[in-house]
Structure 1
Amino acid sequence: MPDIRLIPCLADNYAVLLKEGETVVLIDAPEAAPIQAVLEKEDWRLTHILITHKHDDHIAGIPALAKAYRPEITGPAAEASSIPGLSKTVREGDTVTVGPFTADVYDTPGHTKGHIVFHFPKEKLLFSGDTMFALGCGRLFEDTPAAMWNSLKKLRALPDDTTVYCGHEYTLSNARFALSVDPDNPALKTRAAEIEQLRASGKPTVPFNLGLEKKTSPFLRADEAAVAEGVGKAGAKPEIVFTEVRERKNRA
């Protein structure tokens, strides 16, 4: 497995560094200073940046990092005009090869129309940006609930033993919300208690296991009766259930 560093940035963002040999890959660049601090401490030279979407809290660090290290920068083709310094653009069906790493690219519209994620099948890693959070999903700033539901189904189809790194530490509030719509889920109760303990100790809840996410996140389970019933939509189509779950979270 590569050497991996989870880097807290801004108020609640995460960036991630992967290193193997001379290759050092950054996923998203919320701000430069904490990322550079890790690079300098470890004596690593940044060689590549992968960007999931155009929001400032995922790209603001690019100019300073590009000036300091001159990495190759890859991001979503659909948002290329909004992201500074891209060397390459990609979309669903493309693969990204960076040193010894190869990632599959998936289009995951919902949070933004051009959002992408990176799945590293060999390493069993998924970098989900703001599409999937632990027990949550991104707000729908630019697209429809149907688009986000379809994006989440793509990610749900990945193997259970996938380790997921997302873009924010939102898990505690997500867990409390999940219990409000799925209160009888024993796996969720156990996970929520563990999350409470982690956050009380100041520890991150990221990364997380995709198989457990499939069992506990109401956002991935809009086609299950328990979640439909929990939001008063028994018998409704999954898209309708998902819309209700997302709207309730918006109000939580």
Structure 2
Amino acid sequence: MVASPNPDAEESAISRLVLWNIDLTLLDVGQVMRAAYAEAFEKVTGEPLVYLTSASGRTDSEMFFEFCARNYVELEPDTEVLGDFLAALEASFASRHEQLLAKGRVMPGAAASLAAVAALPDTVQTVVSGSTRANAIAKLVAFGLDTHLNLAVGGFGSVNYPKSSLIQSIRLHASGEGGRAYAEDETVFVTGSAPDVRAALIGGAIPVAVLNGSTTEGQLRDAGAQIVLPDLSDPRAVMTAVHQATTR
């Protein structure tokens, strides 16, 4: 059994990069996002968004092309339609701020867990989100979850890369120009999604999985997670899991 970490008692500080998934890990704004997707899609394609796709582990850029395929929308080559969609999505989401607060919710223990992990020495926390930078930050700020996060070094769905590439890029560049890269055993990705667990392993991070009601423990372990938490309601357990994952 791993003892609860005592930051003051560590023999030496361990550099840690802790990445958090946002949706269904820190908060849930699914209803609002679905409405924003539908409005933005119809605005840029002229067609209704009838068939959705799973957002689990995907970026908004990836989802747009999946929306097009599932709704039989043909795109002209070399168009800037993806950029138009992302801009429309940000505008649509921004217009729903009141709905965000009314229909969204913070996952139990999320704020306290962010604060607990921030207490670990030499630790940087940020996010890896499928949402665009503007939408991801808007979600976090709306619910006061941005306090302990360095969002300047986060990875977002504003670019057309999978989450595994975003994770790898953050590891290499989070310390700033000329800074060292974070090693794989110094990097943790906290998420409740099986595709995110696989992305963590590909991108060079240790997944700390959290049950959120949409994925089973078996699915998370089958994807490669060795650490699975029942939720974020015990901040000490979350801090212990991060400590355990990054202690060499």
- Larger fraction in strand: 1
Give the TM-score normalised by structure 2: 0.29
Which structure has the higher relative contact order (CA within 8 Å, separation 6+)?
2
Give the TM-score normalised by structure 1: 0.28
